[in-house]
């Protein structure tokens, strides 16, 4: 291992350090994930300096002998009950500086932090069959989940678009659609939190992911975190006649309103499944995006490859698979 690589933990991330971080992430993403947009410098700075929900963040920067940034690692340490055994790793090494030991040094720092924080599980994501997967396998991570990434293009006309609009306009007796931007309205906060808990039964393969308990304060806090980093969160929900929120879907629009947006959660409460509500709210969200954000042309989502129901919903809406990633888990030995 090269001794010319130096790793130091970032305390309060400076503007210069955020620029260095972006430089590494941009190079790594372009090499390993061609066609995937790189977060802009503002997004990176907000990620590194803003608050996180139910967690705190640790960050490291690796530099070469000449002080050039060659690698970065971020560790999200979960703190909420039900997930306080868990940490999540993001690690990038500039392709021009790989095989010099930077990745190994960064991983060692993250694992040591997991031990200090008494975390038994470390998870990480890598492109399927890419260099990150090989790196993870060599260092003791086990493959725990495969994710299928899908894309829907909003600028395509024809049969698929007409079918999607029919789905959005379909009647669902006993249910109504409602939506909001940012923080959930107070009158819906408790119902939304109850619906959020339906995500705890989503397929997670062999990941030791734990569970999250949602309440009204937590859903408000989540929206505040998104807003503080400059992003916009759109939500559409199906509400039953008795006031229960039966299902919902969320879209994240990164700051600057780029052409590609991200699907966040979609969930239907168990007792309301089987009525096509997931398909309905997602189709209605596409219609809303077209009306309110005409500059958006792509929605990206991902599903576990064994989440047969949601994959079928997305394919019905016109989403098409375009890449795969894998989630890996390292069981961290106790001190």
Q: Is residue 1's pLDDT more than 50? A: no
pLDDT of residue 158: 56
Q: How confident is the model over 198-218, as a mean pLDDT?
A: 90
- Encode pLDDT of 230-280 as tens digits: 999 999 999 999 999 999 999 999 988 789 999 999 999 999 999 999 999
Q: What are phi and psi of 81, to 5 degrees?
A: -55, 135
4-13, 27-36, 149-158, 300-309: least confident range = 149-158
Q: Is residue 3's pLDDT more than 90? A: no
- Encode pLDDT of 177-203 as tens digits: 999 999 999 999 999 999 999 888 888
Q: What are the strands, taking DSSP E only, across 130-210?
A: 142-153, 175-181
pLDDT of residue 39: 82
Q: Do domains 6-119 and 149-324 have the same CATH topology?
A: yes
pLDDT of residue 149: 96
Higher pLDDT pick, 158 / 184 = 184
Q: Is residue 140's pLDDT more than 90? A: yes
Q: Can you tell me the distance from the alpha carbon of 214 to that of 54, in angstroms, rounded to the nearest whole number? A: 11
Are 157 and 315 a contacting pair, CB within 8 Å? Answer: no
pLDDT of residue 270: 94
Strand-pair partners of 9: 60
Question: Torsion angle of alpha carbons 217, 218, 221, 226, nearest 10°?
Answer: -150
**Pairing status of strand 86-93 against strand 245-253:** unpaired
Fold of 149-324: Aminopeptidase (3.40.630)
Question: 3-state class of 279 per DSSP?
Answer: helix
Q: Can you tell me the distance from the alpha carbon of 139 to that of 175, in angstroms, rounded to the nearest whole number? A: 50
pLDDT of residue 165: 83
Q: Is residue 173's pLDDT more than 70? A: yes
CATH class of the structural domain 6-119: alpha beta
Please report which confidence band the pLDDT of residue 43 belongs to, taking 50, 70 and 90 as the band edges: confident
Q: How confident is the model over 213-241, as a mean pLDDT?
A: 95
- Percent of the chain past pLDDT 70, that is, above it, reads 97
Q: Can you tell me the distance from the alpha carbon of 192 to that of 246, in angstroms, rounded to the nearest whole number? A: 9
Are 208 and 226 a contacting pair, CB within 8 Å? Answer: no
Query: Furthest-apart CA pair in the chain: how many Å?
Result: 67
- Please give the angle made by the CA atoms of 249, 251 and 257, to the nearest 5 degrees: 165
- Encode pLDDT of 92-134 as tens digits: 999 999 999 999 999 999 999 999 999 999 999 999 999 999 9
Domain ranges of the chain: 6-119, 149-324
Q: Can you tell me the distance from the alpha carbon of 165 to that of 319, in angstroms, rounded to the nearest whole number? A: 15
């Amino acid at each position: 291992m090269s001794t010319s690589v130096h790793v130091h933990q970032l305390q309060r991330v400076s503007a210069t350090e955020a620029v260095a971080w972006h430089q590494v992430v941009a190079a790594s993403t372009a090499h390993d994930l061609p066609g995937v947009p790189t977060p802009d410098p503002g997004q990176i700075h907000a990620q590194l300096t803003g608050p996180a929900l139910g967690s705190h963040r640790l960050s490291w920067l690796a530099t070469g002998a000449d002080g050039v940034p060659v690698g970065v690692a971020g560790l999200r340490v979960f703190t909420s009950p039900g997930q306080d055994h868990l940490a999540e790793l993001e690690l990038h090494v500039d392709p021009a500086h790989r095989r010099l030991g930077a990745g190994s040094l960064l991983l060692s720092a993250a694992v040591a932090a997991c031990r200090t924080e008494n975390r038994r599980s470390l998870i990480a994501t890598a492109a399927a069959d890419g260099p990150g997967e090989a790196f993870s396998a060599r260092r003791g991570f086990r493959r725990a989940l495969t994710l299928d990434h899908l894309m829907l293009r909003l600028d395509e006309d024809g049969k698929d678009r007409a079918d999607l609009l029919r789905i959005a306009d379909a009647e669902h007796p006993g249910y109504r659609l409602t939506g909001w931007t940012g923080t959930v309205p107070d009158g819906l906060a408790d119902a939304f939190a109850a619906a959020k808990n339906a995500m705890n039964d989503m397929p997670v393969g062999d990941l030791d992911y734990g569970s999250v308990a949602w309440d009204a304060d937590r859903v408000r806090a989540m929206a505040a975190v998104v807003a503080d980093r400059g992003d916009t969160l759109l939500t559409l929900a199906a509400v039953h006649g008795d006031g229960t929120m039966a299902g919902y879907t969320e879209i994240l629009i990164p700051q600057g309103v780029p052409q590609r947006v991200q699907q966040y959660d979609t969930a239907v409460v168990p007792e309301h499944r089987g009525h096509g509500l997931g398909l309905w709210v997602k189709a209605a969200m596409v219609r809303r995006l077209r009306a309110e954000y005409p500059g958006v042309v792509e929605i990206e989502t991902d599903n576990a490859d064994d989440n047969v129901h949601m994959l079928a919903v997305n394919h019905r809406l016109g989403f098409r698979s375009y890449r795969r990633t894998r989630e890996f888990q390292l069981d961290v030995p106790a001190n």
